[in-house]
Amino acid sequence: MPRVKRIAILTGGGDCPGLNAVIRAVVRTAQNVHGWEVLGIRDGVEGFLKPRDEGLIRLGRDDVAGTLVRGGTILGASNRCDLFAVPRKNGPPKDESHRVGKLFKRKNVAALIAVGGDGTMRMANRLQAQGVPVIGVPKTIDNDVRGTDRTFGFDTAVGVVADAIDRLYTTAESHHRVMLVEVMGRDTGWIALHGGLAGGAEVILMPEIPYDPERIAAKVQARAAHGRRYSIVVVSEGARRPKGAMVYRRGGGEGHLVDRLGGVSYRVAEELREHIDLEVRNIVLGHIQRGGSPSPLDRTLASLMGHHAVELAAAGRFGRMVALKSSGMKSVTLRTAGRGPRKVPPRGALVRAAREMGISFAAADGGDDDYAQSRRTHGAP
């Protein structure tokens, strides 16, 4: 491997609190420790498609000063572009991935640090297979990238959910309402589970445990019978009934007017009204969970991951993704990260603790009831 003098960084996928902290850490570590120059790729992989190097920006200490506390990404992001299948007005999609290698050769770039979720890691792995030296840094508020115990952005999102529930409890109690709080989580329920636990929700619906609306109603009615005529139900956007499909908001199918996940809380509200007399309202938190300043934990985690990514590049350990493990900062193969989302274990410690504290998952298979009965019969393990 030739001596590293210049590296590049891009932020792929959706925005996420902590992205600027990663960029800052990469720039400061690369320059302070190794004397490297850092190039930023604008708007994710779309930056490779821009003409005349318009997708590149030089990043120095002054460029990242004051960005630690800022949400979003100073480089911009894109979650609609696949370099291996770029749409064309006429004809089938075209593979433009060769642009990366050509640009790096022309600009003497020795490594790419790709910051993103599992989709970005899959793309990074394919680029690595083409000979582009890549280091991955996992980010997503969903906390579902395989191979790492946690991703930055997650703690901030959970804080937003918990704060929203805190505010909703007072109005729910005052008006005797059942409030459905819809949170992000396409394939996994990490935000719903942690946010529901932190906020004190009575029911949590998430993709890993198909729900039965009658079981939600039973929990709400049991509370009402004891004088608590209000409840908070956290609903992951990917929640579904057994063999049911996810709920999408319909778009026009062109450009940005595409079908988007979201709105399941409206369906749950309609289902719930068939079984209870209490007023049911739903709130969709949406992109509020992505925005704002990152929490101190996310700032720290993002900074450590950015630093470790540079150290992996310095050691020539390409084709790896930074990972937080119980023993500290490690790395796993990019292939590991791209093998699909890391799901919440339905029988794991967090779900078990929630159930033992009386939180219902409205499990369609009766899992909540079966679990509680087993504990009463056999005692705690």
> How confident is the model over 275-321, as pLDDT tens digits?
999 999 999 999 999 999 999 999 999 999 999 999 999 999 999 99
Q: Where are the alpha helices (DSSP H) in the chain?
A: 19-29, 61-64, 98-107, 118-129, 154-175, 190-199, 213-225, 264-273, 296-314, 334-337, 349-356, 367-378
- Cβ density class 332-346: b for 16+ within 10 Å, e for less: bbbbbbbeebbbbeb
Residue 258 pLDDT grade (very low, low, confident, very high; cuts 50, 70, 90):
very low
- CA distances in angstroms from 70 to 18, 65, 284, 299, listed in the order given: 8, 11, 24, 10
**pLDDT at position 380 over 60:** no
Task: Specify the CATH class of 6-152+294-337 in words.
Answer: alpha beta
3.90.1640.10, 2.40.180.10, 3.40.50.460, 3.10.290.10: CATH of 159-290+345-378: 3.40.50.460
Spell out the domain ranges in the chain.
6-152+294-337, 159-290+345-378
**pLDDT at position 253 over 70:** no
| Residues counted in the chain | 381
Q: What is the DSSP annotation of 231-282?
A: EEEEEETT---TTPPPPEE---SBTTB--EE--HHHHHHHHHHTT--SEEEE
* pTM > 0.85: yes
- CA distances in angstroms from 179 to 161, 171, 225, 230, 343, listed in the order given: 13, 9, 18, 8, 26
User: Closest Cα to residue 290, out of 179, 156, 178, 171?
Assistant: 156
Backbone angles phi, psi at 180, to 5 degrees: -100, 120
With vertex at residue 184, the alpha carbon angle to CA 343 and CA 13, rounded to the nearest 5 degrees, is 85
What integer pLDDT is reported at residue 52 of this predicted model?
86
Same fold flag, 6-152+294-337 and 159-290+345-378? yes
Residue 372 pLDDT grade (very low, low, confident, very high; cuts 50, 70, 90):
low
User: Closest Cα to residue 142, out of 70, 206, 71, 69?
Assistant: 206
Per the listing, tokens 């991935």 go with 97
Across all residues in the chain, what is the average pLDDT? 91
In whole angstroms, give the CA distance from residue 250 to residue 322: 36
In whole angstroms, give the CA distance from residue 340 to residue 93: 24
How much is the average pLDDT of 52-74? 95
User: Chain centroid to CA 278: how far?
Assistant: 33
Q: Which residues are catalytic?
A: 142
What integer pLDDT is reported at residue 259 of this predicted model?
55
CB contact set of 302 (below 8 Å; sequence gap of 6+): 18, 19, 21, 22, 25, 139, 152, 294
Strand partners, 152: 139
CB 148 within 8 A of CB 17: no
In whole angstroms, give the CA distance from residue 107 to residue 144: 34
